[in-house]
Amino acid sequence: MKNIGFVSTRFSGTDGVTLEASKWAEVFEKSGHKSFWFAGELDRDTEKSFHVPEAFFKHERNIWINERVFGKKGRKPSVTQAIHELRAFLKDQLYAFINKFNIDFLVVQNALTIPMHIPLGLALSEIIAETQIPTIAHHHDFFWERVRYSVNAVSDYLRMAFPPNLPNIKHVVINSEAQEQLALRTGISSIIIPNVLDFENPPVVDENKAEIFRKSIGLKSDDMMILQPTRIVQRKGIEHAVELVRELKDPRYKLVISHEAGDEGLEYAEWLKEYACENKVDLRFVTTRVADPWTSHAKCQNQCSLWDIYPYADFITYPSLYEGFGNAFLEAVYFKKPMLVNRYATFVRDIEPQGFDLAVMDGFLSKKTVRNVKKIIESPDRRKKMVDVNYEIAARHYSYSMLRNKLNAIMTNFFGDAVKQLIYEMPYPERNIYLKTGSSPGV
């Protein structure tokens, strides 16, 4: 059995990195391995956590650094000194984490990918080089995919640590474009592991909690919930969801956004409110912090989970302009919900060829697409056929069995045949803290 150290700036809430890390941990733990957590913001079991506030990308010391290196072409010696002081501190903390929990190998989640926290990336690169500890670097968003990092004063650090090219790191990306660009720009080879869900075990819904959630945001029994299950950032294209609800022309349709704003500022959220008001669309934000469904410790028992929100959605909107893969897409399929998808690049290249049955748009909302959505919502037979087909396709391509096979290959490469293979087992009872006995979600 191995002690696995998950490292990132944040393991908390429902961002894509946190969710995928939780799924990976579940797959490891079902086979007897143990997961431990290092981050600047954590909502994991405290007995398995190593919380270092300075590792959070929103920590004041890191914000001070970022304000002086991004959007600028040169940096002052005082900034370089601040970077290395924080790097040295975090490096000591990482060594303490590894020693405290006897970590056998690391799974670094996006902290060696996107430079939201440069000192942490540098510290990790040095730790991995010095210890030669086996490491999976799981890449979700590279810096060259984000305009805000295109002008910077840290190109030396980006080449060194985002990501580092070290022999004891196995690099994992989530789509084929990322794999090609990583090889082209750095010469680093990688394997593709797309986002996954446990399609081997369909969700079981806590109907009471789901109904409580519906009432908590003021929905009446005859209201129709159009759910936008993403963070409130501009690349999610949420204005298209507003336009869809406007064009459906029915006051019963309410647009609900499940995640919070803040990672990239609050201006877009404020603009959305104004845009919805101008278009006479009833837009509702979930004000309670939404918990990661895989988090099972007591702190989250009184929180609303994503799994409490999906069951009573009538339709899902996913009009993203860009996604590394698309957690919300898989979640909608998992809960057998019909959805509208904008044909973002990764969807067109990696997902659409699998044959999913969806309402789609190509950068703008046409009248034909609106008519298609209305037909889907109003036809139970059409909905059932499409969501059943989609579940079957996703179970073949994006299930835990695929993840187990990929991780088994990596672990065998690290540790040889002596390491225990990841195997299928029934979920632990504590996994279902939110999923009480009840009927499977309807359509």
Identify the band that residue 430 occupies on the pLDDT scale cut at 50, 70 and 90: very low
- For tokens 């898989």, the residue is 330
Residue 120: what are its φ and ψ, rounded to 5°? -65, -40
Q: Can 3-192 and 207-397 be said to share one CATH topology?
A: yes
Q: Is the pLDDT of residue 368 over 50?
A: yes
Report d(CA 269, CA 232) in Å as an integer. Answer: 6
What is the residue whose two structure tokens read 């609106």?
370
Three-class SS of residue 181?
Answer: helix
For the chain, helix, strand, coil in percent to 5 are 45, 15, 35
- The per-residue pLDDT for 438 is 33
Strands, DSSP E only, in 28-163? 34-39, 41-42, 49-51, 105-109, 135-138
User: Are 9 and 111 a contacting pair, CB within 8 Å?
Assistant: yes
Q: Among 30, 38, 32, which Cα is nearest to 12's?
A: 38
For the segment 28-32, the average pLDDT, to the nearest whole number, is 90
Distance of CA 341 to the CA centre of its chain: 17
CATH no., domain 207-397: 3.40.50.2000
Q: Which two tokens stand for residue 75?
A: 């940096």
pLDDT in tens, 184-204: 999 999 999 999 999 999 887
Whether the CA torsion 183, 186, 190, 196 is positive or negative: it is: negative
Q: Quick one: pLDDT at residue 291?
A: 67
- What's the pLDDT tens digit per position in 148-185? 999 999 999 999 999 999 999 999 999 999 999 999 99
- Specify whether the CB–CB gap between 288 and 214 falls below 8 A: no
- Per the listing, tokens 């072409």 go with 73
Q: Is the pLDDT of residue 427 over 70?
A: no
State the pLDDT confidence band at 244, using cuts at 50, 70 and 90: very high
* Parallel/antiparallel/unpaired status of strands 105-109 and 3-7: parallel
Cα-based distances in Å from 314 to 5, 72, 237, 390: 39, 46, 20, 16
Residues 137/17, Cβ–Cβ less than 8 Å: no
- pLDDT for 249-272, tens place per residue? 999 999 999 877 666 668 898 999
Contacts of 345 (CB under 8 A, 6+ apart): 177, 322
Mean pLDDT score across all residues of the chain: 89
What angle (nearest 5°) sits at the alpha carbon of residue 367, between those of residues 365 and 368?
100
Structure confidence at residue 73 (pLDDT): 93
pLDDT at position 92: 98
Predicted confidence (pLDDT) per residue in 334-343, tens digit: 999 999 999 9
Domain residue limits, the chain: 3-192, 207-397
Task: Note the pLDDT tens digit of each residue in 91-128.
Answer: 999 999 999 999 999 999 999 999 999 999 999 999 99
Q: In what order do the strands lie in the sheet with 3-7?
A: 49-51, 34-39, 3-7, 105-109, 135-138, 169-173, 191-192
3-state secondary structure of 274: helix
The answer to whether 406 and 191 have CB atoms below 8 angstroms apart is: yes
Q: Which residues make Cβ contacts (< 8 Å) with residue 111, sequence separation at least 6? A: 7, 8, 9, 117, 120, 121, 124
Q: Which of 41, 16, 43 is nearest to 113 (CA)?
A: 16
- CATH class assigned to 3-192: alpha beta
pLDDT of residue 439: 34
> What does DSSP assign to residue 32?
T
Within 266-314, where are the H helices?
A: 267-278, 306-309
CA 54/CA 64 separation, integer angstroms: 12
